[in-house]
Amino acid sequence: MNNDTKVDASPFDTFESRQARRLAKRDAVLLASVRMFNEKGFHNTSLDEVAAGLNISKPTIYHYLGNKEQVLLECVNRGLLLLQSASQDLRGEEGDAVGRLKTYLKKYAEVAMSEFGKCVLRTDAESLSKAGAHSFRERKSQINQELERFIQEAADEGAIAVSNIKITTFAVAGALNWPAIWHNIDGDLSPEEAANELVEVLFSGLQLRS
């Protein structure tokens, strides 16, 4: 008798496939939530609406993410991670500081126009619990410090004129954050095109050159 019986593939899911499906479902809930937060605001959004849009129950959202604030914080965290990644990707690059600054500003602006980036910039810390607001402010402060560092490095290199680093950082951050409000993904300019135009204005200024 031949004991080398061929075994068919197991009909049961592997741990990896179950994890992949779970993450895909969690991402779907996050994307539906962030779009509604951006459209209606945190206070005017209910998890019942998010659940209805995905044809799931509200307890399913609790299972994957938690309550409404926890969902918002995870959306905000996604956006902050995108901004942090833009900075970290440039830290090891060689070349001039002004080149890194320009690249960072463009990436920052593009993130600001993404769904999760918009959520970061449209979220008011006062909407959150004390612990949530503290964490949110700390993370945003780290992003501002990174922006200030890129600007300072370009100034130290003599590539840009900066009289007050704090004011310059606030001014640049304000310009980069504002597309989260006015940019329309279905408009004439893609996020990349809008970011390029915005950074050109920041670097060239408005004054005519002789």
Burial class (CB in 10 A: 0-12, 13-18, 19+), 125: middle
Find the length of the chain.
Answer: 210
97 contacts 156 by C-beta, under 8 angstroms: yes
Q: What are the start-end ranges of the H helices in 41-161? A: 47-54, 58-64, 68-91, 97-112, 115-122, 130-156
Q: How many angstroms separate the CA atoms of 27 and 23, rounded?
A: 6
pLDDT tens digits for the chain (210 residues)? Answer: 555 555 566 677 787 787 788 888 999 999 999 999 999 998 899 999 999 999 999 999 998 899 999 999 999 999 999 988 888 888 767 778 999 999 999 999 999 999 999 999 888 888 888 988 998 899 889 999 999 999 999 999 998 889 999 999 999 999 999 988 888 877 788 999 999 999 999 988 766 665
Q: 158: alpha, beta or left, given left = phi > 0 and alpha = psi -120 to 50? A: left
Q: How far, in Å, are 41, 176, 183, 198 from residue 193 at the CA level?
A: 27, 13, 11, 9
Residue 21 CA from chain centroid, whole number: 23
Q: How many angstroms separate the CA atoms of 91 and 32, rounded?
A: 33
Q: How many angstroms separate the CA atoms of 132 and 124, rounded?
A: 11
Q: How many angstroms separate the CA atoms of 145 and 150, rounded?
A: 9
| Residue 13: partners with Cβ closer than 8 Å, 6 or more residues away | 21
Domains and CATH numbers, the chain: 69-204 (1.10.357.10)
Query: Hey, what are 78's tokens?
Result: 């996604």
